[in-house]
Amino acid sequence: MPSILKKYFLFNKTFGLNGEKSTFWLVSGGVLMSFMEFLGISAIFPLLLLVMNPSASVDHGLLRGLYQFFGVNDPAHLAMILGVCIAGLFFVKNIFQIFYWKYEFSTLAKWRVQIIRKLYNAYMASSFESYMKRSSSGMMNTLIFTSPNAINFFVHPLLNLLNYALTAFVILSYIIYTNWAAALVIFLVAIGFIKIYFMTIKAYTIKLGKQVNDMAAEQQSLLQQSFIGYKDTKVNLKEHFFSDRFFKIAKNFSDSEERLLFLRGLPPAIVELMAITLLIAIFQAILLTGQDIKTATAQIGVIVLACVRLLPIMNRSISAITYINGAKTIVDDLLKEAEELNIREDSSLLKANRDHDYHALPFLHRMTLDNVSYTYPGKEMTAVRNMSLTLQPGEFIGMTGPSGGGKSTLTNILLGFLDRFDGQYKIDDTEISHENIRNLRKIIGYVDQNIFMMDATIAENIAFGVEKANIDEGKVIESLQKAQIWDHVQSLPDGIYTYIGENGKLFSGGQRQRLAIARAFYRDIRILILDEASAALDVETEFKFFNFLESLKGQLTVIMIAHRLSTLKSCDRIYFIEDGEVKDCGTFEELYRINPKFKTYINFSQIDISKEPEA
């Protein structure tokens, strides 16, 4: 139990739940309910004595005091008064219990939200390197299932267990006062049953809990893969592959959960067996003391009543301990996740980001990289080595080279995702660092071949992250006009309030490109990075797309990363990147003359360097 309490308070401290204060009030409420339980049960004994032997009750010490206290002489009157007092006491106790439960469930709900918020904020505030090590399905499983289950199956049962223990202690104390031998029997039998039960199943319960948690995450991952890869699955006729794997995992998950639920359902049967054993043992113990049969009968009645109250507590306590054992791995996983995310620091970052007024960097003269090098954590090979380049406002810059040459790493540096690099990255005279990355992102837009679209309206996708009530419709329309897709949007029945489907699946590739660029215009960006943005477009759409980009010359600085070299002909300069270095730089024609590999690519592609791209 001490180790479980230690884990509980560590969990509270890690996720900032203010658990000490809330736990104090919850336990204090449990103590008060236990005290009222004690008063209610202790009042039953004199009532039973009155009912069973009214004439002799006058000579009983406890009853004689009650006669004097209430100022009555008639046993019937005293019995009525005691009955009303007992009923009133239980009425007050149950009213208090209702409010206690309301506070308890409200606190638990608040804690669930707090844990999810902390983890979500930590995920979103984590570094790019940290994010790339995690799977999206794993993070979703942690947020949707693991976090709530830590409250439902560890925190809540533990708080209940503390209250059950307090109530059981109070009831046992009264039984000790009434008949110490009966209390000793109850204590020894109960401890014996519980010890045997948990020695038998504790390790197995923990193992099953871990299996259920792991398989839930595996199911989530497999479902996500099969739905995202819908087309590939159908075309390759591999529906059965995902189906077989999913239902195999689902069956194993169901089997493990069934065993866990079975173990959690055992306590009632165990408690019933224990109850019969207890009652017989108590009856024998009282008779052996040689007490008056009527007094003994009253004592047995009170003890039976106390046991009636104790048995559900024992039942729930065993169930609570079973839940706690099964959820230990869940709590351990969350604590490990919090440690890896450094959650106490990072979880406050999003709030700071929201409250801070980030001003866009000016970008009046140049963007420069000076001898920038970067190596991914755990890797020996340098991804980008001593890279230097300079961009002027309004330039149209191209980047190309073999796959794995460092273009994607360079893009991530330019976007501020990788900030632990050697060398300098500057906008005008401002050096880019972790502290001003958000200022940088105020002026940068990014469009790649896998465009992300929300399952929402065109307006919500263009404004992206702005609440519906705060969307500037005029600016949305202006952005769509700049992206040369307003005519199409205007022709739709719902205009800018047309739903585009999950990830924009109701729109063509070219239309999604324009919507993504309109999103960038809405933000008033000054630099637009296109990462293989035309790779999925057909020839005609690509031709129109680059005619559109031509119209942006002088308005935006455009950085285009491409393998389709025909798309780079209009660039002011092209950087040929290979082995993490800038090998050559020049116009399309200059690069054709000075770089043999670029020339080979052009010849293979049969591109006429003297002509513009044709539809």
Lowest mean pLDDT: which of 58-72, 86-100, 342-356, 530-544? 342-356
577 — pLDDT class (breaks 50, 70, 90)? very high
pLDDT at position 536: 57
Range from 188-192, 223-227, 313-317, 358-362 that averages highest in pLDDT: 358-362
The whole-number average pLDDT for the span 579-586 is 92
Q: How long, in residues, is the chain?
A: 615
Residue 43 has, within 13 A of its CA and on its CB side, a CA count of 20
The full DSSP string for 175-208 is HHHH-HHHHHHHHHHHHHHHHHHHHHHHHHHHHH
| 367-374 and 384-391 strand pairing | antiparallel
322 — pLDDT class (breaks 50, 70, 90)? confident
pLDDT at position 284: 66
Report residue 284: phi and psi, to 5°.
-65, -40
- pLDDT tens figures, 215-229: 777 777 777 666 666
CA distances (Å), 429 to each of 14, 426, 432, 442, 588, in order? 40, 6, 9, 17, 30
- pLDDT tens figures, 244-300: 777 787 788 778 777 777 776 666 666 666 667 666 666 666 666 655 555 555 566
| 430-431 and 367-374 strand pairing | unpaired
579: left (phi over 0), alpha (psi -120 to 50) or beta: left
Is the confidence at residue 485, as pLDDT, over 80? yes
The full DSSP string for 33-73 is HHHHHHHHHHTHHHHHHHHH-TTGGGGSHHHHHHHHHHT--
- Please enumerate in sequence order all residues whose Cβ is within 8 A of that of 230, keeping only pairs 6 or more positions apart, or say none: none
**Burial level of 3, CB count in 10 A (0-12/13-18/19+)?**
exposed
Helices (H), 229-292: 230-235, 239-265, 267-288
Cβ atoms of residues 439 and 589 within 8 Å = no
Would you tell me how many other CB atoms lie within 10 Å of the CB of residue 99?
10
Which is nearest to 517 in space by CA: 562, 560, 485, 472? 485
Domains of the chain: 2-345 (1.20.1560.10), 359-443+561-607 (3.40.50.300)
| Distance in angstroms (rounded) separating the CA atoms of residues 201 and 326 | 11
Catalogue the E-assigned strands of 364-481: 367-374, 384-391, 396-400, 422-427, 430-431, 444-448
pLDDT at position 615: 40
Range from 12-21, 29-38, 462-471 that averages highest in pLDDT: 462-471
The whole-number average pLDDT for the span 370-396 is 90
The full DSSP string for 328-359 is HHHHHHHHHHHHHHTHHHHTTHHHHHHHS-PP
Angle separating helix axes 239-265 and 180-228, nearest 10 degrees: 170
pLDDT at position 353: 55
Which is nearest to 438 in space by CA: 125, 209, 104, 80? 125
DSSP class of 360: P
CA 243 to chain centre: 27
- Please enumerate in sequence order all residues whose Cβ is within 8 A of that of 111, keeping only pairs 6 or more positions apart, or say none: 15, 17, 19, 22, 151, 155
Is the confidence at residue 2, as pLDDT, over 90? no
List strands edge to edge, sheet with 573-578. 444-448, 527-531, 557-561, 396-400, 573-578, 581-586
Q: What residues form DSSP beta bridges with 575?
A: 399, 585
CA 66 to chain centre: 58
pLDDT at position 516: 87
Is the confidence at residue 109, as pLDDT, over 80? yes
Lowest mean pLDDT: which of 17-26, 100-109, 441-450, 464-473? 17-26
- pLDDT tens figures, 435-459: 888 889 889 988 887 788 888 899 9
pLDDT at position 347: 47
Look at the alpha carbons of 325, 326, 329, 331 in this order and tell me if their dihedral is positive or negative. negative
pLDDT at position 345: 44
Q: Which run of H or E residues covers position 583?
A: strand 581-586
pLDDT at position 555: 79
582 — pLDDT class (breaks 50, 70, 90)? very high
CA distances (Å), 565 to each of 101, 415, 558, in order? 68, 23, 16
- pLDDT tens figures, 130-142: 888 888 878 888 8
614 — pLDDT class (breaks 50, 70, 90)? very low
Is the confidence at residue 613, as pLDDT, over 60? no
| CA gyration radius, the chain | 36
Q: Which two tokens stand for residue 94?
A: 């149950």
pLDDT at position 380: 83
At 389, the amino acid letter reads L
More reliable by pLDDT, 130 or 595: 595
The full DSSP string for 292-333 is -HHHHHHHHHHHHHHHHHHHHHHHHHHHHHHHHHHHHHHHHH
- pLDDT tens figures, 53-97: 666 555 555 666 777 777 777 777 877 887 888 888 888 888 888
- Please enumerate in sequence order all residues whose Cβ is within 8 A of that of 591, keeping only pairs 6 or more positions apart, or say none: 574, 576, 584, 585, 598
pLDDT at position 354: 53
pLDDT at position 355: 43
More reliable by pLDDT, 332 or 47: 332
| Distance in angstroms (rounded) separating the CA atoms of residues 564 and 436 | 34
> What is the four-CA torsion angle of 40, 41, 43, 44, rounded to 10 degrees?
120
At 74, the amino acid letter reads D
Round the average pLDDT of the chain to a whole number and report it. Answer: 79
Cβ atoms of residues 434 and 452 within 8 Å = no
| Distance in angstroms (rounded) separating the CA atoms of residues 46 and 82 | 8
More reliable by pLDDT, 350 or 358: 358
